[in-house]
Structure 1
Amino acid sequence: MIKIEKKFLFKLGENYSFINPYSLGVVCQSLTASECQKIKFLADGIAIVIYARLFKKKSIKRTSFDDTSLAPIVFQYACHNNLSIALVGGTPENIRQAKSLLENKYPGLRILFSESGYFANQDAYQSCLDKVVSADILIVGMGAGKQEQVLLDARAKGWQGTGFTCGGYLDQIVQARGDEYYPRLLNKLHLRWLYRLLKEPRRLSKRYFKDYPYFLIKFGNKIE
């Protein structure tokens, strides 16, 4: 079962991930029930919020790791409390640019380690896990299933920090050059999905119009 929290409560030492209809299906198929219990899930996008309200009689808030929601809170908290951050995800060039843009956007942000999510082999992956163990906050953007597994594997290595999956956020901040990715009006109207669809129609058309309804029908009963 996937328990979706009603709202975000920042608690150090927890793993947080963000569920939309697509990632719901991927997570249900790639993680065990006991692994899911080790992660606090939040609703990423209006589709899960509406589904939970209509079919689960549960009122939850949309919480995403992006600049319209949680990302500024996490980075500002890290700055104010001098917490170190590890970033994992994207291509080598993408993660390099994302690190630079975040450091410029949040003066004093201490990014201890940054690594591409494309690992040459298992040894490279294990080496990455060894390095992130010393970080206070770990942010992983590698796609559904994989990014949650990184948090769990880091925890198994002895890491005791706070973890967040971030989906495509590292790519978004590079595309926007550190500015806001979503137009404010579309964000206010909960039309972020439409904006992304217009920017990436070939990649997202199938996901939004086929995978979203399919996974909600197949795995919606897994939502608590």
Structure 2
Amino acid sequence: MKHVNILGIPFSIINHDYLIKRLSQHVQSAEKSFVITANPEIVMQANEHQEYKNHLLRASYITADGIGIVKASKILKNPLPERVTGYDVMMDMLQLSCDHQYSIYLLGADKETLLSTKNNIEKQFPSIRIAGYHDGYFDWNNNRIAEEIHEKKPDIVFVALGAPKQETWISQHIDQFTKGVFICVGGSFDVISGNVKRAPLSWQNINLEWLYRLLKQPRRWRRMLALPRFSYRIIKQRVKNSS
């Protein structure tokens, strides 16, 4: 798998459809895999916290869940083919799970959102096998989540704890498993549950999904402060690469 280095983070040069194909192959072969869908905010956190960066570097695939990453790859003259978002990956993997009887596990969100997510998945994918689920509000150092997943042996684990918790949790526990595709899906449970509305396709097509989310959730403005710092660092990397 080829990569493009964006501020020390190796993004997989892969499109959405091929990633889904690869993940399905991992499930069929009972192989482990760790998928991170990263945006500029995650990249900046990794650059500021080495321990978190080490967790990211354990991933099998890191994809561009943000147009800022795609644009950065073009500036660095090693373009990524497209955005590959956590939500889109989750929805296609749910369809595959329904079609091929893969079992899934859901980890994240509050209890009400999690149950709504579970119920809506079962409505949309009637034959899906949900091996188990657990909300995201647990004692980090005193829980049996990993043991439960190990016992139930799901084919796919969707982890919606938000960054940096979801990447950290998978990195810290993945060695305990012999199989399973572990996918970081951020706020996807909020969308599937109906609590949050995803940006219309018209906004997505012009790469303004981030602005739509900001307008709907103004409290996200602090997170957006990472964008100008990210842009500055990308320009510095481009100059360094050219010299």
Give SS of 1:4's match: strand
Give SS of 2:179's match: coil
C-alpha displacement at 1:55, in angstroms?
2.4
C-alpha displacement at 1:49, in angstroms?
0.4
Deviations 1:151-192 (A, max 9, x none): 223312124111110011111222358xx7321211222221
Q: Does 1:213 align with 2:234?
A: no
Give 2:211's aligned residue.
194
Structure-to-structure mapping, 1:126-205, within 5 angstroms: 127-133=144-150, 134-175=153-194, 181-201=198-218, 203-205=219-221
Percent of aligned positions that are identical? 25
* Partner AA of 2:141 in structure 1: Q
* Partner AA of 2:102 in structure 1: L
Give SS of 1:50's match: helix
Give 2:70's aligned residue.
49
Q: 1:108 aligns with which of 127, 130, 140?
A: 127
Checking the alignment, whether the CA contact within 8 Å between 2:86 and 2:188 is kept in structure 1 is yes
C-alpha displacement at 1:72, in angstroms?
2.2
C-alpha displacement at 1:45, in angstroms?
1.5
Give unpaired runs (5+ residues) of structure 1: none
C-alpha displacement at 1:79, in angstroms?
1.2
C-alpha displacement at 1:139, in angstroms?
0.6
Give 1:31's aligned residue.
52
* Partner AA of 1:83 in structure 2: Y
* Partner AA of 2:206 in structure 1: L
Deviations 1:56-84 (A, max 9, x none): 43233100011xx3222111111122111
Give SS of 2:81's match: coil
CA distance in 1, matches of 2:173, 2:54: 18
Give SS of 1:118's match: coil
Cα–Cα, structure 1 residues 215 and 190, in superposed 2: closer, same or farther, change >3 Å? closer
Cα–Cα, structure 1 residues 129 and 217, in superposed 2: closer, same or farther, change >3 Å? farther
Cα–Cα, structure 1 residues 218 and 151, in superposed 2: closer, same or farther, change >3 Å? same
Q: Does 1:6 align with 2:13?
A: yes
Cα–Cα, structure 1 residues 206 and 103, in superposed 2: closer, same or farther, change >3 Å? same
Give 1:62's aligned residue.
83
TM-score by length of 1: 0.86
C-alpha displacement at 1:37, in angstroms?
3.6
C-alpha displacement at 1:42, in angstroms?
0.1
Q: Does 1:19 align with 2:38?
A: yes
CA distance in 2, matches of 1:37, 1:121: 20
Cα–Cα, structure 1 residues 130 and 160, in superposed 2: closer, same or farther, change >3 Å? same
Give 2:99's aligned residue.
80
Give 1:119's aligned residue.
138
Pairs aligned (count): 213
**Larger radius of gyration, structure 1 or 2?**
2
TM-score by length of 2: 0.79
CA distance in 2, matches of 1:63, 1:129: 27
Checking the alignment, whether the CA contact within 8 Å between 1:138 and 1:162 is kept in structure 2 is yes
